[in-house]
Amino acid sequence: MKAPVSFARAQDYCRQLTRKHYENFSVASRLVPTRFRQHLANIYSFCRWADDLSDEIDTSEESLDLLNWWRNSLRLCFEGDCLHPVFVALHETINQFKIPIEPFEKLIDAFCIDQTKFRYETDTEVLDYCKGSANPVGRILLYMVGKHNDQTIQLSDSICSGLQIANFCQDVRRDVARGRIYLPKIYWTKHGLTEAMILTGESPEMLRCALRDWALFSRGMLLDGLPLVSLVPIWLARDLQLFVRGGLHLLDELERNDYDSWTKPIEVSKVAKLKLILRAWFSPRSMIP
């Protein structure tokens, strides 16, 4: 059997992987105390690998096989048998903060769903998907800061699901290219959309109206979860401000683009990012929209 990499090399691997995708992982910013950064890199690396096994593999069958391999590797990690560098590093994080296996398995479950489920009927169905695709990350962070309770879980889930839906609004065209439509069919019916219209983008006005309604739903969830900033340590409050304000700014940009994420890229500028960072730093407990 191949010997596992050293703990130091495994940690370095996770740090390098996190830096490579830094733009998409603001939780590893300098707003985070040094003692937490490695652990967050370990968690991110686990998520990054699972995401790539879902989206970067040629066929759904291959993806499912590889995700099952990743799940088995996770279970071995919890038993102390780690070979892959991600799990060599993650094992320390799991033990130090006493994180259970459930949130990690739920993330894998969501990536498996992406291989077989490509349409959603209602917001409830999408939120059920978010219970695996988004909410576990917030719950893991709550374990890390010792704030995992019913109240914080509810608020964290609202933020994470709200962010996931905001990203869906932003990435309609990209997801359609992968054969996935996360926009629930209730919005299709309301605005006279058909599946063909969404797949081809031939009815931009109706699609924009549907995305407007969904974006409002997302905004409500983000604002509902914002009180979490008053219940967690200051560093995590700052990071939550970045996440929530970043999601709200993304929705603002979508509105300025008349909810057209099909033909116009929706991005947050560097200047806007700097403003978001400064606001998070100086007003971490703010709940003003």
What single letter denotes the amino acid at residue 239?
D
* Per-residue pLDDT at 162 exceeds 70: yes
pLDDT in tens, 208-257: 999 999 999 999 999 999 999 999 999 999 999 999 999 999 999 999 99
* Per-residue pLDDT at 110 exceeds 70: yes
User: Could you tell me the pTM of the whole model?
Assistant: 0.94
pLDDT band at 24 (very low <50, low <70, confident <90, very high): very low
User: What's the mean pLDDT in 50-74?
Assistant: 96
* Per-residue pLDDT at 28 exceeds 80: no
* Per-residue pLDDT at 4 exceeds 80: no
User: Exposure of 275 by Cβ count < 10 A (0-12 exposed, 13-18 middle, 19+ buried)?
Assistant: middle
SS3 content of the chain, % helix, strand, coil (to 5): 75, 0, 25
d(C-alpha 135, C-alpha 126), whole Å? 12
* Per-residue pLDDT at 27 exceeds 60: no
CATH no. for 1-116 = 1.10.600.10
* Per-residue pLDDT at 115 exceeds 60: yes
Question: b/e per residue, 178-198, with b = 16+ CB within 10 A?
Answer: eebbbbbebbbeebebeeebb
Determine the 3-state secondary structure of 69 from DSSP: helix
CATH no. for 119-289 = 1.10.600.10
Q: What is the pLDDT of residue 11?
A: 97
CB atoms within 10 A of CB 66: 18
* Per-residue pLDDT at 1 exceeds 80: no
Q: Where in the chain is the domain with CATH 1.10.600.10?
A: 1-116, 119-289
